[in-house]
Amino acid sequence: MEINQAGLDLIKSFEGCKLTAYQDQRGVWTIGYGHTGSDVCAGLTIDEETAEQLLKEDLHSAESTVSWLVKVPLNPNQFSALVSLCYNIGSGNFRTSTLLQCVNESKDPTQEFLKWNHTNGIVNLGLARRRQAEVELYNS
């Protein structure tokens, strides 16, 4: 399964596209649509095409993680909402989350989505809005 257009649009709207590397709120070097890694450093610049390619590669990893870890059937919007969350919080956090446990137990994960709204222990309004958008996508 692959992320659908609604999920892709959600990620792009919350990540934004920055063509020059910057440090995010946690101090992690980031570029494009939220791409991080050892290839990102101060002074790095890319073009829009490269940003799209990095996003596609990064989303493939999140899609694979969600496909591998979720043991119940999902509709395309549920899958895409989970991919958005996984892309944002990382595969390791997703793998050990109570949200994943709720999904696999066919329980409503709404409250679990909403818990992932902190940066350095402080509620981040942007993350709170993103989590609400993911919940809306998941439930649609």
Query: What's the burial of 99, exposed, middle or buried (CB within 10 Å: 0-12/13-18/19+)?
Result: buried
Supply the pLDDT for residue 100.
98
Render each residue's pLDDT in the chain as its tens digit; 140 residues: 999 999 999 999 999 999 999 999 889 999 999 999 999 999 999 999 999 999 999 999 999 999 999 999 999 999 999 999 999 999 999 999 999 999 999 999 999 999 999 988 899 999 999 999 999 999 99
**Tell me, what CATH number does 66's domain have?**
1.10.530.40
Supply the pLDDT for residue 7.
98
Which of 2, 15, 52, 136 is the catalytic position? 15
In this structure, how many other beta carbons lie within 10 angstroms of the beta carbon of residue 61? 14
Residue 63 appears among annotated catalytic residues: no
Q: What is the pTM of this model?
A: 0.92
Supply the pLDDT for residue 120.
85
Supply the pLDDT for residue 26.
84
As for how many domains the chain has, the answer is 1
* Nearest CA-CA partner of 6 in 138, 127, 111: 138
Supply the pLDDT for residue 45.
98
Supply the pLDDT for residue 113.
98
Q: Give the range of the structural domain holding residue 116, as residue numbers without chain letter.
A: 5-138
Beta-carbon contacts of 51 under 8 Å, excluding residues fewer than 6 positions away, are: 17, 19, 31, 32, 33, 35
